[in-house]
Structure 1
């Protein structure tokens, strides 16, 4: 096994329990896609990691001991992860959730979700992809009830994104339950599945009536899952805005699956900032506005970064928010702490009275590394604005 001597900054992170290896600390590496022994500058053994570049670092610590792959038990990891999710398995109202979440469950670079009786593996780098047969074999021994599985290859490019992995093939489209609400999903078409499972607690608040009797605007709506949850929780009207043309068809499927009348729910294909201007021009206002943008986006005219530009969204939303309206501000940017996200939101709230009614981080099935704040990447605030 290759030995890598780490600097004192990397040593400190490893001893803190941070598993991801930051590229800043590991420059000019001579090896990749292999296990390595980590040692300090003083020669102290720090554990075992694997090296493999992905969008999050250049590798992952997998043990604080020297460890070979032959002795590493994926069966044990999956068995422990399954026990943690027992309440989800027993739930009659939710049939889609995460069953393995990277370093939160002991091995970075892989996550697994279940949708009814089918699993979806996500591979985030070359190394885990190279040992996927070993990982899948272990998973099948712990999850014999899973009928079939698909994989999302998140590092190779468009032509490699999705494939059937083993067992039965799922229908092209089928429905799952979450908080008692029906959503249509698809498992073998690009990296998406039709719903972001990490938001199910936030959608749960809408199902429970947060927007009951209210009008709701859902920006960056993707397949309008927030809107559907709000409608099932009694919202009087929803408008969902997304620039992707396909979002309209996928969104409508969710509404139809729940028997909702589309006369009260509009799906608009438009740039979000253009819709803000349209709504202001037509004197539209909303009781609840949801802002859940991608961390980074680019169109023909401009780029958008949550870390620098989220306050612009909030400012525009304020102009069309009803008196005493609610704003649900959300981001999955791992590089943005909750306090920094709050400060970005509050740039636009200067001069108005507001209260934080609720906050959300990752739900319990998305087990995260408690030693690494960036592992708990989701940050959502429900804010009441007094105008």
Structure 2
């Protein structure tokens, strides 16, 4: 962390950098930095050598590093990191005082001023996720800041970066007391079983909190709800608590069955009265058409990229066709909740997929409402990709 390397910005990217664009990649710099070490401090300059910003080197799938400060004489040190985390916590104090929600994001990478690191809160436990070795080189400073700023029960971390050429989703207990798992947390009064010690996926995606609440409060009563790519069944639990007449959860992962049963059970819902199906979603769509099944609400929240034995799904290429499958089994005046976390296209393009899907099926629709990331997932206006979540509630006319 003591080395500082000079990096020159590509001329056409100088203005975005000056305005606060934080991501360094091989396209927007002209200097070769193959010899940089993870965590090296990078000083970005223009073509005349004038200071623009400074950050760190950390190879990850998004780029080669993050800019952190636009002040030439500001050091990237413990005090810098402490202040960033302190500011993030202060902006989320109201979450700490909520009795209905005990799980939320405390620090959201570049949105809170330090790309490559996120920190989530689960009822007194903090989970740090590192997205590059470069980010991880600051782990002592981040952990020490959490120690000093919070009254924590325990700290966990997950290393979400490649090591020795292999992508490793490693997790680690750092310090404090280990909870007995599942750790039960609340979100809008709904309980979730969380596992901080079981791989990258802890049991619920916190960025969908407002969407789940809306489904429960306004779209579920008396409805037959299909939840595709259902993971641990969080949308289904909310729908059932919102008075859905029946829920069907479909996911290819074998453990989705036991995980979904668990989430229903801790919320006092009879899981045997629901359908929980382990199957390729595309295969299920064909089955539903063949059996003439239809639903009042269909929830589509696929991963950006997924591969099964027979299908490879890319949201950027295949979302339109996924929507067409959903349209076919949605009742007239029913609702499709179309969601994607793919950051390579924006909401305008996503709505274009929706429009094309309905046109190609000779259908009509009305957009009812839309959502992006909730307030604890702070984003950066200068870096549009940070606001990756796009959710559209669509009425099939």
TM-score, normalised to structure 2, is 0.94
Match of 1:45 among 47, 51, 64: 51
Residue of structure 1 equivalent to 2:370: 359
Paired with 1:95 and 1:207, the residues of 2 have a C-alpha distance of 18
The equivalent residue for 2:75 is 68
- Whether 2:343 is the aligned partner of 1:339: answer no
Q: Indicate the residue corresponding to 2:149 in structure 1.
A: 142
Question: Shift of residue 370 of structure 1?
Answer: 1.8
Superposed displacement of residue 26, structure 1: 3.5
The one-character-per-residue Cα deviations of 1:357-378 (angstroms, maximum 9, x if unpaired) are: 1100000010111221111110
- Give the SS at the match of 1:347: helix
Q: Which residue of 2 aligns with 1:281?
A: 290
1:326-369 CA-partner distances (Å, limit 9, x unpaired): 00000001111111111112211113221111100000010111
CA RMSD, 1 decimal: 1.4
Greater Cα shift, 358-367 or 205-214: 205-214
Partner of 2:263: 254
SS in 2 for 1:114: strand
Question: Which 4+ runs in 1 deviate beyond 3 A?
Answer: 156-160
Contact 1:224 1:240 in 2 (8 A): yes
Ranges in structure 1 where 5+ consecutive residues have no aligned partner:
none
Corresponding residue to 1:98 among 84, 100, 105: 105
Q: Residue 74 of structure 1 contacts residue 139 of structure 1 at CA under 8 Å; is this kept in 2?
A: no
Pairwise CA distance, 1:159: 5.7
Q: CA deviation at 1:71?
A: 6.7
Contact 1:308 1:344 in 2 (8 A): no
Equivalent pairs, count: 385
What's the counterpart of residue 12 of structure 2? 9
Greater alpha carbon shift after TM alignment, 171-180 vs 194-203: 171-180
**TM-fit CA distance, 1:72:** 4.5
**Where does residue 129 of structure 1 map in the other structure?**
136
SS class of match (1:240): strand
Q: Once the 2 structures are TM-superposed, how far is the Cα of residue 69 of structure 1 from its aligned partner?
A: 2.8
Q: Write the deviation string for residues 101-145 of structure 1: whole angstroms up to 9, x where unpaired.
A: 0011111110000110101000011112122011110121111x2
Pairs within 5 Å for 1:303-342? 303-342=312-351
Moved more, 260-269 or 217-226: 260-269
Inter-partner Cα distance in structure 2 for 1:32 and 1:369:
27
Q: Give the equivalent residue in structure 1 for 2:42.
A: 36
Residue 185 (structure 1) shift: 0.9
Report the more deviating stretch, 252-261 or 30-39: 30-39
| Cα shift at 1:12 | 2.4
SS, match of residue 243 in structure 2: coil
* Distance in 2 (alpha carbons) for counterparts of 1:336 and 1:189: 31
CA distance in 2, matches of 1:301, 1:52: 35
| Structure 1 residues 80 and 153: alpha-carbon distance in aligned structure 2, compared to 1, 3 A threshold | same
Pair 158,170 (structure 1): closer, same or farther in 2 beyond 3 Å: farther
**CA distance in structure 2 between the partners assigned to 1:203 and 1:365 by the alignment:** 16
Cα shift readout 1:223-245 (whole Å, capped 9, x = no counterpart): 01000011111111000000000
Measure how far apart 1:15 and its partner are: 1.8
Q: TM-score, normalised by structure 1?
A: 0.96
**Counterpart residue number, 2:232:** 223
Map of 1:125-274 to 2, 5 A cutoff? 125-143=132-150, 145-156=151-162, 157=166, 161-274=170-283
Distance 1:217 1:151 in 2: 34
Instruction: Select the residue among 373, 381, 393 that pairs with 1:370.
Output: 381
CA contact (8 A) 1:112 1:121 kept: yes
1:264 CA drift (Å): 2.8
Structure 2 Cα separation of the partners of residues 232 and 43 of structure 1 = 60
